[in-house]
Each structure stands twice: as structure tokens, then as C-alpha cells.
Amino acid sequence: MQDLYCTEPKNLHYHEFAERMEFLKYSKEGEAKMTDVIEEYAARKAEAVAKEATEKAQARNVELAKELLSEGESIERTVRLSKLSEAEVRELASKLSA
């Protein structure tokens, strides 16, 4: 278990871990492989964060549109302020009036 927290290959107890860590840390090929792994992770994380931000923004826009419609704002003004499509706003309006 201690090997999982060790940062230097020479201090590892398991020879296989030490060899692999030495390859990844000190060779050009290992560095390139780790760089690829880190870049792939960063790209996936950025995509997930962007998707989450988009979903949150959409939810905020829907809530804003509901509030505007419940206060009697027109469809056109609600579309403009909420950044939702006219079809989405009309659907919300029909649900609110039902």
C-alpha cells in the first residue's frame, strides 16, 4: 500500500511498480504517454464541465421564462430575455395556463 503514495521509483518495494514508474517519469516515451493520458483526461473533464454548465444555464432560462410568463410578460419579450426558443416558451406558457 505504501508504494501507491511513493513518488520516487527507488523507494518502491515492488520491482514492477518501480520499473513502470521509472519509465513513466524519466523516459521520453513515458513522458509522452503520460502527457497523452493527462490531455485526454483534461479534455473529458472540460467536456463534462461544459455540458453541466449548459444544463444549468438552460434550467435557469426555463425558470426565468416561467417567472416572466407568470407575471404576464408577452411571449416575444420572454423569448428575448430568456434566450429560449419561441416554441419552448409557448410550451411553457401552455403548461402554466393549464
| 33-64 per-residue burial string, b: 16 or more CB within 10 A, e: under 16 | eeeeeeeeeeeeeeeeeeeeeeeeeeeebeee
Q: Which domain holds residue 42?
A: 2-97
DSSP state of 9: G
Number of domains in the chain: 1
Residue 43 has pLDDT above 70, yes or no: yes
pLDDT at 10 exceeding the cut of 70:
yes
Mean pLDDT confidence for 74-85: 97
Q: pLDDT per residue over 47-79, tens digit each? A: 999 999 999 999 999 999 999 999 999 999 999
